[in-house]
Structure 1
């Protein structure tokens, strides 16, 4: 069984919605299991999400990683960055080297900094030696989406009136999850 960690921080549920679609994509691949986890909120030292808080052992032992964050001023959210700032032991041991990874985000506007946020999330993954995957243009929804989705990763635009994913956004998130799972399976052979 290939276990893929879907790690995210979500304050209002939009990033969590993408995480769940990515998990569906992962589990569409036979022999793959999605493990949904979040990180502690820095202000309350807990999480309001329905998923448990990730452990360093879960990260070290996963076969691949999908990581998501809301856009915070064009950057990943502080709780997620704080988590990665504590992974030096995994980095020294090389626990994540050659594992596939992808990133996803949500923002409140189309030009809120989605692509820069995706790029900031890639940096710790690259430093850990992970292989970062995007969404290829062979995915039809990447050509038709009007509410999110980039070759860098799955995205969505959420507003106070609508936190549900649009059809194309959900399709792209599932495709990214399926691609991550298929790659992890190939690497395990």
Structure 2
């Protein structure tokens, strides 16, 4: 549930076929299991000249993210399908507009993690995850992966990496595998727990 005036973990994603959106939903369940609100937000597609080309309000699914959604979050989970081993351009376009947040350090010291979906078994999952980490590191965020204490990371035959949650969305997979769901929820819970601990630590220092 998205409640105003409370700490929240922002789940920011772009999804064209729905696979990344399904992951976002499972991540949100993990976040809320940790005791903090999950706020699901997406970004509009862009035209070939990189200008926003979608209506101002999406016809379905999560609302579009605003800069203030990002600025005020307690933690961030960011997801994108793979595009030639990199994040999709709509998400990159949104991040390119966050210079003000970078300048004022709004995201410094906050936890973040990343997730992705690919149509083929490997398909650049790990490079896409790393590509999403880079701007978050420039924002001073603390990157959390999935530790090998999560047993599903060793047994998965679909998606799942130590760099972040992933999903193999090929023709055989219309839904997330059990291990993919487990890892999404584990990552969401981890970032949610970190966000609360870091918030409490910051408040105790003031």
Common fold, TM-score beyond 0.5? yes
How far apart, in 1, do the equivalents of 2:162 and 2:146 lie?
5
Deviation at 1:110, TM superposition (A): 1.3
Aligned-partner Cα distance in 1 for 2:65–2:8: 14
Q: Does 1:168 align with 2:179?
A: yes
The Cα shift of 1:115 comes to 0.1
Aligned counterpart, 2:72: 61
Hey, what's the Cα distance between the residues in 2 that align with 1:64 and 1:151? 19
3-state SS of paired residue (2:86): coil
Determine the C-alpha separation between the residues in 2 that align with 1:2 and 1:150: 28
Following the alignment from structure 2 to structure 1, what is the Cα–Cα distance between the partners of residues 7 and 98? Answer: 22
Q: Deviations over 1:66-90 (max 9, x none)?
A: 0000000000000000000010011
Residue of structure 2 equivalent to 1:99: 110
Shift of the alpha carbon at 1:134?
A: 0.1
- Select the residue among 137, 143, 146 that pairs with 1:135: 146
Q: 2:54 aligns with which of 19, 41, 45?
A: 45
Residue segments in structure 2 that go unaligned for 5+ positions in a row: 1-5, 48-52, 201-206
* C-alpha contact (below 8 Å) 2:76/2:111 kept by paired residues: yes
CA gap of 1:60–1:137, structure 2 versus 1, over 3 A, is: same
Q: In the alignment, does 2:17 pair up with 1:12? A: yes
Distance 1:49 1:119, change over 3 A: farther
Whole-angstrom CA distance in 2 between matches of 1:156 and 1:50? 19
> Does the aligned pair in 2 maintain the 1:38–1:49 contact within 8 Å?
no
Other-structure match for 1:187: 198
Instruction: Provide the C-alpha distance between the structure 2 equivalents of 1:106 and 1:35, rounded to a whole number of angstroms.
Output: 20
Q: Does 1:35 align with 2:39?
A: yes
Whether the aligned pair in 2 keeps the contact of 1:65 and 1:102 (CA below 8 Å) is yes
Shift of 1:49: 4.9
SS state at 1:71 partner: strand
Aligned Cα root-mean-square deviation (Å): 1.1
Contact 2:121 2:170 in 1 (8 A): no
Rg comparison, structure with higher value:
2
Gaps of 5+ in 1: none
- In the superposition, the TM-score normalised over structure 2's length comes to 0.89
Question: TM-score, normalized by length of structure 1?
Answer: 0.96
